[in-house]
């Protein structure tokens, strides 16, 4: 069973690589949290500070995506992983203008500052 995991932005920096492919025991059932543990073990990284909170939930500072779907909208870290699945781990990005007014056009917002 092979699962591809890609890392983006600061998660990629922490991992020191862009992606890993995990070759796992085919007869075993894997959940997302098992995959994260396997990455930590195989890459010798402490991912708990980056990816997982105390109760086994993913941190609010990362977004984990499985085959194009946000894991949080599935079964979270209990989501079952299958052969050939692709996982992407992104940091959440924030920013923008605090004084945004939805009734103004983008050009109006730019011209007023």
What are 54's two structure tokens? 């105390």
What homologous superfamily is domain 2-111 in, according to CATH? Beta-grasp domain (3.10.20.30)
- How confident is the model over 55-73, as pLDDT tens digits? 445 545 788 999 999 998 8
Q: What is the rounded distance in angstroms from the CA atom of residue 2 to the CA atom of residue 65?
A: 17
Domain ranges of the chain: 2-111
User: How many Cα neighbours within 13 Å face the side chain of 88?
Assistant: 10
- 0.85 cut: is pTM over it? no
Name the band, by pLDDT with cuts 50, 70 and 90, for residue 51.
low
pLDDT at 65: 93
- Residue 61's contacts (CB-CB under 8 Å, 6 or more residues apart) are 50, 91, 92
- Is there a contact between 37 and 61 (Cβ–Cβ < 8 Å)? no
């Amino acid at each position: 069973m092979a699962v591809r995991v890609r890392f983006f932005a600061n998660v990629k920096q922490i991992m020191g690589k862009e992606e890993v492919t995990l070759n796992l025991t085919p007869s075993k059932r894997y959940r997302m949290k098992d995959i994260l543990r396997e990455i930590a073990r195989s890459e010798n990284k402490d991912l708990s500070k980056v990816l997982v909170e105390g109760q086994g939930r993913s941190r609010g500072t990362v977004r984990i995506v499985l085959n194009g779907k946000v894991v949080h909208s599935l079964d979270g870290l209990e989501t079952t992983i299958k052969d050939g699945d692709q996982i992407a781990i992104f940091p959440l990005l924030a920013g923008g203008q605090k004084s945004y007014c939805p009734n103004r056009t983008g050009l109006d917002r730019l011209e007023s500052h």
